[in-house]
Amino acid sequence: MLTFNPGPSQLTDDVIDAIRDIAVSGFLSISHRSSKFKEVCRSAVEGLRDVFSLPPEYTILLQPSATAAMEMVLRNCVSTRSFHFVHGAFSQRFYETAREMRIEAFGFQSDPDQPVNWGQVDVPRDVDTICVTHNETSTGLMWPAQEIDALRARYPEPLMVIDATSSWGGVDFDWKTGDVWFASVQKCLGLPSGLAVVALSPRAMDVAGSTSPGVPWSPVAWQNVISMAEKMRDWQTPETPNMLGIALLARQMEHWDHKQVVKRTQEKARLIYRPRSFWEPFVTDPDWRSVTVAHFLSDQVDELKRKAVEQGMVLGSGYGPYKKRGLRIANFPAVDLDSVAGLIRALES
């Protein structure tokens, strides 16, 4: 069965073979303090940096999930107050997580199917962290690169934290526009769930090293950015990590052609978004439509799902309030153009 559900991603044959190879190699039973593990961890982290051209001064860390990364970033990188652009379930989660951590969080709510009119709001001067959900997985809204650039230009002083959970790997980023980026490997990176990656600028690391954080400090080392960075200098993590996920990430980075991935993602997105009578794109402005998670509204949801299943394919359901009329299509790199074309033929039949 081929899945277009927006996470976990479809696994390619290469990834399935890699899971088998890693399992039988004995790697999963070695010490996570061993030289062999350090070698694999280094390959994964340096592979990320090389493949995606991450700035050499940015620190790369690992977390068990994007949700855990979100909490870790809030705990370590917010000195006093955070500001959140809220336009769907996961940007709402970012905002609510900050509030639950007793951070003084401000939120700008916008319609989930409309462009984020961030220029209409003045971010308070004493906010030190701005949080942006680059690709709202629940609605299929993605911030255009020029909007992120303009936001950063208008507010150069606060840290810019960007949740790229379902876009890192499928699009290009200007990393310098964000001080912190985080994502899960189970979306565009095409791996099983259970691992997230985080990239932090020197400014973010300076805030994390502050002696007077603005939120309750966690004594747990795996949530302490400074402790994690110290361990990562020796290619380790404070806790026993997801060794399979790290090994798979190392393998994935060995053959990842990011330029081609971005090109194919755009080609598939153009095919997916061609006008069709049986659905309408949820996001009204084409410039704000996600190229990695497409979201449509339809009065024929059950029929379209049935047609897909008959051809061995699974469509993603709408999320939350859009569950009954919504359909989401994961345009992740693991799904090729022929598969997308096959899905469209099935739905049009």
Residues 277 and 337 in one domain: yes
Here the CATH number for the domain that contains residue 177 is 3.40.640.10
Beta bridge partners of 142: 135
The yes-or-no verdict on residue 348 having pLDDT over 80 is yes
Residues 62 and 208 in one domain: yes
Quote helix, strand, coil % in the chain, to nearest 5.
40, 20, 40
Q: Are 139 and 87 in contact (CB under 8 A)?
A: yes
Total domains present in the chain = 2
What is the rounded distance in angstroms from the CA atom of residue 163 to the CA atom of residue 333?
A: 19
Q: Is the pTM of this model over 0.85?
A: yes
Residues 198 and 312 in one domain: no
What is the rounded distance in angstroms from the CA atom of residue 316 to the CA atom of residue 308?
A: 11
Name the CA dihedral angle for 173, 176, 181, 186, rounded to a multiple of 10 degrees: 20
- In the three-class reduction of DSSP (H, G, I as helix; E, B as strand; rest coil), residue 78 is classed as coil
Residues 249 and 337 in one domain: no
pLDDT digit string, tens, across residues 190-230: 999 999 999 999 999 999 987 455 566 555 666 899 999 99
pLDDT digit string, tens, across residues 41-59: 999 999 999 999 999 999 9
pLDDT of amino acid 216: 60
Residues 103 and 203 in one domain: yes
Phi, psi of 132 (to 5 degrees): -125, 130
Q: Are 168 and 198 in contact (CB under 8 A)?
A: no
Span 94-107, average pLDDT: 95
pLDDT of amino acid 209: 84
Which helix or strand (DSSP H or E) is residue 211 part of?
none
Span 135-158, average pLDDT: 98
pLDDT of amino acid 79: 85
Q: Which of 31, 139, 158, 60 is nearest to 93 (CA)?
A: 139
Residues 48 and 123 in one domain: yes
Q: Name the residue with higher pLDDT: 189 or 221.
A: 189
Q: Which of 210, 239, 254 is the last residue of a domain?
A: 254
pLDDT of amino acid 44: 99
pLDDT of amino acid 220: 67
pLDDT of amino acid 223: 83
Angle (CA) 223-187-236 rounded to 5° is 35
pLDDT of amino acid 312: 98
Name the CA dihedral angle for 209, 211, 214, 217, rounded to a multiple of 10 degrees: 80
pLDDT of amino acid 116: 98
Residues 167 and 263 in one domain: no
User: How far from chain centre, in Å, is Cα 320?
Assistant: 19
Span 133-141, average pLDDT: 98
pLDDT digit string, tens, across residues 284-340: 999 999 999 999 999 999 999 999 999 999 999 999 999 999 999 999 999 999 999
Residues 207 and 291 in one domain: no
The yes-or-no verdict on residue 84 having pLDDT over 80 is yes
Q: Which of 254, 280, 303 is the last residue of a domain?
A: 254
Residues 140 and 238 in one domain: yes
Buried b (16+ CB within 10 A) or exposed e, 109-145: ebebbebbebeeeebeeebbbbbbbbbbbbbbbbbee
For residue 26, what is the DSSP state?
Answer: T
What is the rounded distance in angstroms from the CA atom of residue 112 to the CA atom of residue 92?
A: 11
Residues 124 and 226 in one domain: yes
User: How far from chain centre, in Å, is Cα 210?
Assistant: 27
Residues 162 and 199 in one domain: yes
Domain region containing 55: 13-254
Complete DSSP assignment for 279-331: -EESSSSGGGB-SSEEEEE-S-HHHHHHHHHHTTEEPEEP-GGGTTTEEEEE-
Residues 148 and 286 in one domain: no
Name the CA dihedral angle for 115, 168, 6, 83, rounded to a multiple of 10 degrees: -50
Buried b (16+ CB within 10 A) or exposed e, 6-35: bbbbbbbeebeebbeebeeeebeeeeeeee
Q: Which of 2, 3, 66, 9 is nearest to 248 (CA)?
A: 9
Q: Residue 53: how many CB atoms within 10 A of its CB?
A: 11
Q: What are 221's two structure tokens?
A: 């080392």
Q: Which of 197, 223, 254 is the last residue of a domain?
A: 254
For residue 124, what is the DSSP state?
Answer: -
Here the CATH number for the domain that contains residue 334 is 3.90.1150.10
